[in-house]
Amino acid sequence: MKTTHEVTNQVPDLVDTNLFETDAALRDAVRFNAPELDVQALRELGAEAGSAEMQTHARLANLHSPRLHTHDRTGHRIDEVEFHPSYHALLGAALRHRLHGAPWAPGGPSHVERAAGFLMFTELEPSVLCPVSMTYAVTPALRANPALQAAFGGLLASPAYDGRFRPASAKTAVTMGMGMTEKQGGSDVRANTTQAVRDGEDAWGERYRLVGHKWFMSAPMSDAFLVVAQTPAGPTCFFLPRWLPDGTLNAVRIQRLKDKLGNKANASSEVEFVEAMAWRVGDEGRGLPQILAMGALTRLDCALGTAGLMRGALALAMHHARHRSAFGRRLVEHALMRNVLADLALESEAATALAIRVARAVDRSESDAAPAAEREHEALMRRLLTPAAKYWVCKRGSHFAQEAMECLGGNGYVEAEGEGVMARIYREMPLNSIWEGAGNIMALDLLRALRAGAVSEALECELAPAKGAHPALDRAVARLVSKAGDGVEEAESRRFARDLALATQGALLAQTAPPAVFAAFCESRLDGAPDAFGELPAATDFDAILARAGAE
């Protein structure tokens, strides 16, 4: 066969990179927030998550979406979801690296270590992290039912993934999901209509029968779920297993799987409960505060996940710009492309710095070893920075993905049978902003947090180490502290969330990033809202920023 042309100037795949070794921003964020940590496990995770073999699993798990089987061949209900083997390989790796309930178990990783691992794993594949994140969040919630905690706490922290659909008592590890959202409203959990009727008491505590539905319930093959249902005292949390203690299936009917924009490897379902058995976790009527506590942990994961997706998109954009030429030079040598990449690198590093800082707040606010004053400060920071980070980092995510995609030109928009990783990242990005509380809900949550203590003083203390480092940061901190003291109106709470995130990012970069990164961040983002990417002033030290990100 005659050839019509030679294929040139196309970019090779970005494979076999160590996601930890190549990410200086992440390494410095980890060092700053956990100076004593031995990072060997993160190095190993970085190598595995950047390997060609795992990338193939990520492609296949997304290409071959999960399938629901409501009945078996002979008409019995089975309500099983079938996944491609690559999904199990990925989920197995995530558990092996202890990204689920492990930080809550004795001898488990710190929250900072787990956060860094979660961020890197997201670069590989975010969908399978949905059940991983939910397991992380529900594990401490089970403390409200000591019998369930004793029965499942160890299994929720076990690194030995067991993908078989069978009772938890016969498995080496379990995962859990969460079911709050119903058709009539997700943000307003009080509007839930699913009813719980008391049915007796047994070894797992107070048993109820649940009748109702959930409009979104992801990872329906999880071994159990924490769900909210109404009791006479109001919304209440329940532990709802897929299998009952007698070895029969619980009455959880999966109606259908959601046909989603992205997040293709993960199954998200609509379910009905037909007198399904569930055990109470916490007091009747106390469901909302419990949900909020869990939500704070999954919201941290939304910020971490978005920081990971940003870093993944940036790495692809830099790789492309290094290998692709236009108008006689490699893209990375063009002044405007250097500006775009440098600006993306600033955003990526700032997102990483903020998300890992929130993970430290979880560590230190939970630590018995921390002095009481530090614990109190960290608890307040955790309360304030979680909604601010989820709001701002996730809001920037889609915008970021669009710009990173554009760096690849037309190839960025092409799926190519799952080989187009940038397209996958782009489709995934909006999700972290929507689930676990959309943007407005984050801003409203931050408003509530502002009433939680001496916020102005705590912010001054948090941001003090960067005082005098840059005039724009000093101005931003002064505005923020004064606004926190004066009071924030509901209508301006998004703006306050943004300003809190930006000032904290600036203060963190002052302590962890090279001077060029810190200066460019302050100059481009703190005196007015950031605009389109690639509008950094011409005098910016692009060389230093790009070297830091690994573009050269």
Ligand X SMILES: Cc1cc2nc3c(=O)[nH]c(=O)nc-3n(C[C@H](O)[C@H](O)[C@H](O)COP(=O)(O)OP(=O)(O)OC[C@H]3O[C@@H](n4cnc5c(N)ncnc54)[C@H](O)[C@@H]3O)c2cc1C
By the rule CB under 6 A, 309 interacts with ligand X: no
In the range 128-157, which residues lie near ligand X by CB under 6 A?
Answer: none
Task: Return the closest-CA partner of residue 194 out of 282, 272, 283.
Answer: 272
Q: Is 496 in the site for ligand X (CB under 6 A)?
A: no
Q: Which two tokens stand for residue 21?
A: 């070794």
Site for ligand X in 264-303 (CB under 6 A): 268
Residues, the chain: 552
User: By CB under 6 A, is residue 181 in contact with ligand X?
Assistant: yes
Q: How far apart are CA 500 and CA 481, in angstroms?
A: 9
DSSP 313: H
Residue 493 beta carbon to ligand X: minimum distance, rounded to whole angstroms: 10
Contact yes or no for 334/326 (Cβ under 8 A) = yes
Residues 363 and 395 sit within 8 Å (Cβ to Cβ): no
CB of 18 to ligand X, least distance (A): 30
Q: Which of 263, 290, 348, 540 binds ligand X (CB under 6 A)?
A: 263
Of residues 414 and 434, the one with the C-beta less far from ligand X: 434
Minimum distance, C-beta of residue 23 to ligand X, in the bound complex (Å)? 27
Residue 65: CB minimum distance to ligand X, A: 13
Q: Which is nearer to ligand X, 308 or 437 (CB)?
A: 437
C-alpha distances out from residue 415 to 259, 371, 441, Å:
17, 51, 33
Does 187 help bind ligand X (rule: CB under 6 A)? yes
Under the criterion CB under 6 A, does residue 529 sit at the interface with ligand X? no
Among residues 437, 506, 514, 550, which is the contact residue for ligand X, using CB under 6 A?
A: 437
- Closest approach, Cβ 470 to ligand X, in A, equals 33
Instruction: List the Cα angle 367/225/274 in 5-degree steps.
Output: 155
CB nearer to ligand X: give 84 or 395: 395
Tell me if 160 contacts ligand X by CB under 6 A.
no
434 counts as binding ligand X under rule CB under 6 A: yes
User: For the chain, what is the radius of gyration of the CA atoms?
Assistant: 24
Which x/- pattern, by CB under 6 A, does the window 216-255 give for ligand X? xxx-------------------------------------
Shortest distance (Å) from residue 287 CB to ligand X: 12
The site for ligand X, by CB under 6 A, has a size of 23
Question: How far is Cα 460 from Cα 478, in angstroms, rounded to an integer?
Answer: 9
Pattern of binders to ligand X over 440-479, x per CB under 6 A? Answer: xx--------------------------------------
Measured distance between the N- and C-terminal CA atoms of the chain, rounded to whole angstroms: 40
Closer by beta carbon to ligand X, 99 or else 176: 176
User: Phi-psi bin for 13: left (phi > 0), alpha (psi -120 to 50), beta?
Assistant: beta
Amino acid at 512: T
- C-alpha dist (Å) from residue 359 to 31, 181, 320, 392, 449: 13, 26, 32, 16, 17
Tell whether residue 438 is a contact of ligand X (CB under 6 A): yes
Residue among 29, 180, 229, 477 that touches ligand X (CB under 6 A) = 180
Q: Cβ-closest residue to ligand X?
A: 186
Triad 26, 31, 36: Cα angle to 5°: 140
Told to check if 435 binds ligand X by CB under 6 A, we report: yes
Please, which residues have CB within 8 angstroms of residue 133's CB and are 6 or more apart in sequence?
A: 118, 297, 298, 301, 305
CA 446 to CA 281: how far, in whole Å? 26
Q: Which residues bind ligand X (CB under 6 A)?
A: 177-181, 185-187, 216-218, 260, 263, 268, 431, 434-441
